[in-house]
Amino acid sequence: MKLRSIEVVVPPREPHFVGDGFRVHNFIPSGYRLDMRRMDPFIMMDYNSKFYFPPSDKPRGVGVHPHRGFETVTIAYKGKVAHHDSSGGGGVIGEGDVQWMTAASGVLHKEYHEENFSKEGGDFQMVQLWVNLPAKDKMSAPKYQGITNADVNKYKLPDNAGLIDVIAGVYRDAKGPASTFSPVHMMNAKLEAGGGADFSFPKHYNTCLLVIEGSVVVNDTEQVDTNHLVLFENNDSDFTVKANEKAIVLVLSGEPLNEPIAAHGPFVMNTQQEIIQAIDDFNNGKFGVLED
Ligand code: MN
């Protein structure tokens, strides 16, 4: 079998804080070879690797801020996070859950550690992705999908190798619950020690994986440790992942939108004019109201 080549294994960058609640390694757009275009439609990836937050009476997080033109997807591995937005979306997600917020024409939102988790403290581990929207959908209505782990479709691998938790797109006959605006595959491979899985996505789909827990061997050749990302070339469809020890791997693949990107902070549009409009609209209160 001919395999999709590994372009590069990217180690985690030095972490920085987003607000006071998210200690993240940025992989996209500041990672090696990972600008906003390379993993199109995935235009941002912040990864809070497993980190212990001590108890706090005041929940840590990020205060009210706007977004327009894309979707924010938060996948929780450890800890609990609460979200509220100005379109009325909101909820709490914990281990195995996903919040999929379509900012589209614009929302204000805030993201905090859930209150009880804050009081008790504990390990916190999350990925936040920004998934770009096609130009025709950037100004559509905001929406919120709260996806619990129970909603996530689980594909049982043969030989007790583990499970594939499908969030979006498909793995074999398991379809993910998230609705997306362009073809996107997003899944967690939860592999037992010695367990393996094959993946196949159209070769022009931009594809990467992030090792959340444990360590794996990719394509039977490359050993990849926890918190490292594998960026694949677009030269073939298939790749294999085998766990050395019990492992969790986030797998992402998406059809590139191949549209112009104009980005400014929390706004990602197609033209500079649309960015100026977004800033104007934000300054004129057109993103709605949300209390701090
Ligand atoms: Mn945000």
User: In this structure, what CATH number is given to the domain that contains residue 10?
Assistant: 2.60.120.10
Q: State in Å: Cα 94 to ligand 1 middle.
A: 17
Alpha carbon of 131 to ligand 1 centroid (Å): 12
Q: What pLDDT score does 288 carry?
A: 87
Residue 173 counted as domain residue: yes
Residue 219, burial from CB neighbour count under 10 angstroms (0-12, 13-18, 19+): middle
Total domains in the fold of the chain: 1
**C-alpha 66 to ligand 1 mean position (Å):** 7
- For residue 108, report the distance from its CA to the centre of ligand 1, in Å: 8
Q: pLDDT at position 31, please?
A: 79
Looking at residue 80, its pLDDT comes to 97
Residue-number span of the structural domain to which 212 is assigned: 6-254
* DSSP state at residue 38: T
Whether residue 291 is contained in a domain is answered as: no
Helix, strand, coil distribution of the chain in percent, nearest 5: 10, 50, 40
CA 280 to chain CA mean position, Å? 28
Residue 226 included in any domain: yes
Show the DSSP H helices in the chain as ranges: 115-120, 272-283
Per-residue pLDDT for 1 more than 80? Answer: no
What SS3 state is found at 220? coil
Q: What is the pLDDT of residues 45-75, one digit of tens each?
A: 999 999 999 999 999 999 999 999 999 999 9
Residue 285 falls within a domain, yes or no?
A: no
Q: In the prediction, which pLDDT does 238 show?
A: 98
Is the model's pLDDT at 105 over the cut of 80? Answer: yes
Confirm whether 223 is domain-assigned.
Answer: yes
Rg (CA), the chain: 18
* Within-domain flag for 275: no
pLDDT at 292 over 90: no
Helix (H, G, I), strand (E, B) or coil at 276: helix
Cα 103 to averaged position of ligand 1 atoms, centre (Å): 9
Long-range contacts of 208-211 (CB under 8 A, 24+ apart): 208/39, 208/42, 208/232, 208/252, 208/253, 209/241, 209/249, 209/250, 209/251, 209/252, 210/27, 210/45, 210/47, 210/127, 210/249, 210/250, 210/252, 211/247, 211/248, 211/249
Is residue 88 exposed (0-12), middle (13-18) or buried (19+ Cβ within 10 Å)? exposed
**Is 151 contained in some domain?**
yes
Q: According to the model, what pLDDT value does residue 203 have?
A: 97
Q: Give the C-alpha separation, 192 to 92, whole Å.
A: 28
pLDDT digits (tens, 9 = 90+) for 172-183: 999 999 999 999
The confidence band for 242, taking pLDDT boundaries of 50, 70 and 90, is very high
Is 276 part of any domain? Answer: no
Dump pLDDT digits (tens) for 186-209: 999 999 999 999 999 999 999 999
**CA-CA distance, 195 to 247, in Å (whole number)?**
9
Half-sphere CA count of 266, side-chain side, radius 13 A: 19
Distance of CA 65 from the midpoint of ligand 1 (Å) = 6
Q: Greater confidence, 292 or 123? A: 123
How many angstroms is it from 143 CA to the middle of ligand 1? Answer: 14
